[in-house]
Structure 1
Amino acid sequence: MESGKTALVLGATGGVGGAIAAALIGKGWTVRGLARNLEAARRSGPSGVQWVGGNAMNRADVIGAAQGVSTIVHAVNPPGYRNWGELVLPMIDNTIAAARAVGARIVLPGTVYNFDPAQTPVLNETSPQTPKSFKGRIRAELEARLERAAPEVESLIVRAGDFFGPGARSSWFAQAMVAPGKPVRRIINIARGAGHSWAYLPDLAQAFALLLERPEALRPFERVQFEGVYDASGRVMIDAIERQVGRKLPVYRFPWWAMGLLAPFGGFVREAADIAAVWRHPMRMDNTRLVELLGAEPRTPLDTAMRQTLVAMGCVEDGPSPIGEPTMTLPL
């Protein structure tokens, strides 16, 4: 292990946290994970993670788990997203306190909820954060706390669109667009128009790992955007699914009208209604700064990425794609 290549990943049993942990391990990092249930974490988490018992909502636990690390990946949410609005900011405060105590850089997967999608069709590191949603206001404050902590506490935010790919369980793709565990017989089109951004999770995780391999190039407070797959036509993801299934499929619209009507009852429909605008307006990630740092963005050809996603979801059988396998291209 190279000096400094030790990370604490908060949320390593989740989709994005687990993918980042696996990518770091693949590059020779020592990765520590914090888990309330160690047995469950060992079963479901990435291979190679060193698990430590504790709770991300307990500051002493986070500081204890962070001893000796150079990086803290904050990819954690309250269990079951319960009391999300009340707990998210105290959790980042715990991470900031731990990073300050041990001299570590904080790494955060960023979201698009921080912005007004009607006013920000292209996002870069200087785009104004004027969120209209409840979730967006909290996410904007979360990033503001990281910015205020710099340069004493360094941080890196990598912003991306909606996830798809192996391990992206809590995603619009896996929970709404395609039904897991059975052959694809229909597609739910979530977007109300063209111009949505998607991120293939293994590529995004690779981008995090590559950026952390270049700490000397990072600013004390660094925001970069991961472009991923930009669906300019509104058909890019649908067409990619159909190519892997080998036929045209019925496409139905997501019932956004029902989310608005049922939002007062809480739960998922309230959360969906709160962020509905990001599916109504185009939003593209300007990855200029990321490319400046890495030379190129990690990018798996879409047909390969879609096949791996559908195989992992149990929607198509593993084996040769109906259209062949293009070559994967990643920066060294």
Structure 2
Amino acid sequence: MSKIALFGAAGAIGQSIAAALGAQGRAYRVVGRNQDSLRKAFGRDPLAEIVGWDPDSPESVIAAARGVDTLVYMVGVNYWQFELHPQLMRKTLEGAIAAGVTRIVLIGTVYPYGRARGNPVREDHPREPHTFKGRMRKEQEDLLLQAHAAGRIQATVLRLPDFYGPGVEASLLHRAAVAAVNGGAADLIGPLDRPHEFVFVPDVGPVVARLAGTPAAFGRIWHLAGAGVTTQEALVAEMERQSGRPLRRRVAGKTLLRLLGLFKPFLREFVEMHYLLTDPLILDDSALQALIGPIRKTPYAEGVRQMLAAVPGRVGRVPVLA
């Protein structure tokens, strides 16, 4: 089977995809700017080929993509540098095409939609971002889909909601999980009672592996929804139930985010995306399930159990109930 390359593989989604490929016995290439991080994550897997790259060097991009049939793109940038998203996509796309890559899968977000016109949101929802980050993500997608329309490469986008899972520090729920295990306050961004959805990161990899191997998937955008509509409050309550520890919630709303943002760039940049916590945007993935078949979605209670079990410091502190 042709080799697949994971660009930006060191993050949680990349590791989930690598685990799915490894379970199938498929060789894969992991590509990133920090080879030490790649070796730490994948160095023990004989199926993994570790390759560093410099996206500012066309020769480096071509070398990283050479000999690959399918490229899965999940390259991250600092939250305060979203203008880099289309720039990096353009450089990677040109290098991949020059290297002879046939297909590219972009792991996308809900940002390009802007505010939902209604829920659940299907793939034909207008992409009308009202935020800078949404516009940059849309521009990134447009570069890819235009290359597909021009016959230069086969391309598709898999759009995900917010995610969580064991070891996923970028999740909205991570600090609450740490507090549930080790004590202290649960730092959260509110409101907590609005409908929301989360995808469990280990569930993503098998979907990407199937999607990348489905010819009919290319040329359009797909949704992968979470395990149902929930709220942050409900998931924090589940953490309390499983840990047996009541949690003191320390919730930052939009006004407090603005103040905290004076000192923390991430929180400052999150202000414009705060609407996603006040105006629900729930994905409909029925089209994806019609394409690739039933999708395994870990129930939230089980996802929370695995999340708590992975928090450092758990051993000898808090028994996590089933």
TM-score normalised to the size of structure 2?
0.87
Q: Structure 1: which 5+ residue stretches go unaligned?
A: 324-332
**Contact kept? 2:80, 2:266, Cα under 8 Å:** no
Distance (whole Å) between structure 2 residues aligned to residue 155 and residue 126 of structure 1: 17
Deviation, 1:115, is 1.9
For 1:21-60, list aligned pairs within 5 A.
21-45=18-42, 47-48=44-45, 49-60=48-59
Alignment of 1:1-332 (within 5 A): 3-4=1-2, 6-45=3-42, 47-48=44-45, 49-78=48-77, 81=78, 84-101=81-98, 102-117=100-115, 119-151=117-149, 152=151, 153-174=153-174, 176-179=175-178, 182-192=181-191, 193-213=193-213, 215-218=214-217, 220-232=218-230, 235-261=233-259, 263=261, 267-314=265-312, 316-317=314-315, 321-323=320-322
SS in 1 for 2:30: strand
Q: 1:277 to 1:35 in 2, by over 3 A?
A: same
**Residues 160-212 of structure 1: CA distance to partner in whole angstroms, max 9, x if unpaired?**
111111242222222x4433795255434434242112110000122111222
User: The residue matched to 2:67 in structure 1 has which SS?
Assistant: coil
Structure 1 residues 197, 285: closer, same or farther in 2, change over 3 A? same
Q: Kindly state the Cα deviation for residue 261 of structure 1 after the two structures are TM-superposed.
A: 3.9
Counterpart AA for 1:239: A
Give, as a single letter, the amino acid of the residue that structure 2 aligns with 1:96. Answer: L
Aligned-residue CA RMSD (Å): 2.6
CA deviation string 1:9-65 (max 9, x = no partner):
111111212222222222222211223343442123464221123223433212111
Q: Distance in 2 between matches of 1:43 and 1:104?
A: 29
- Identity level (%): 29
Question: Residue type of the partner of 1:87?
Answer: L
Is the partner of 1:106 in helix, strand or coil? Answer: strand
The residue type paired with residue 73 of structure 1 is: V
Deviations 1:256-278 (A, max 9, x none): 31223455667122211121111
Query: Which has the larger displacement, 33-42 or 151-160?
Result: 33-42
User: Moved runs in structure 1, 4+ residues, more than 6 A?
Assistant: none
TM-score (norm 1): 0.85
Whether the aligned pair in 1 keeps the contact of 2:173 and 2:188 (CA below 8 Å) is no
Higher mean Cα deviation, 115-124 or 298-307? 115-124
Change (3 A) 1:69 1:177: same
